Amino acid sequence: MPKTHPEFIAQFDDERKPLVEAVLAAINEARPSLTEIIKWNAPSFCDNGKDRMTLIPHKSDRVGLILHTGARSKEDKKAPPIYQDDTGLLEWNSNIRATITFLDLSNFMGKKSLFLEVVKRWIEETKNL
């Protein structure tokens, strides 16, 4: 099992590899201070030791990213989200967890600027959670 993001990429033998690499690079571009870890058998990112984003490469036809506040925060699936998403990229799963999904590299590249905005804002909005 991979222990680092580069090890994960090296072992990820799939046609979606360029998309996975682009998503990971964009997260690093938006927030280079995030810590990279492998959690739940996938690349994840932490801010000040708190889990914030986890890649979902397990679905064969797409790549997703879960934006979350770690396992300790109590979520409410009926409560409003922690902020209003102006990008249209977030699919809210609860008040403190959202998902972004990309079908392919072209789909991602067309939305990259919005994605960078989402990553930056997610880290800011979840700093105190």
All structural domains of the chain, each given as residue ranges with its CATH number in brackets, are 5-125 (3.90.1150)
d(C-alpha 43, C-alpha 34), whole Å: 12
* Cα 8–chain centre separation: 15
Q: What is the pLDDT of residue 129?
A: 87
Q: What is the pLDDT of residue 60?
A: 78
* Amino acid in position 94: S
Q: What is the pLDDT of residue 114?
A: 98
Strands (E), 1-129: 35-39, 42-47, 50-56, 63-67, 91-94, 97-102
**Burial letters 27-58, b for 16+ CB under 10 A, else e:** beebbeebeeebeeebbbbebeebbbbbbbbe
Q: What is the pLDDT of residue 14?
A: 92
In order along the chain (129 residues), what is the average pLDDT of each group of 10 residues?
94 95 98 95 95 89 93 87 96 96 96 98 94
- For the chain, the distance separating the N- and C-terminal CA atoms, rounded to the nearest angstrom, is 30
Handedness of CA 85, 129, 123, 62 (dihedral sign): negative
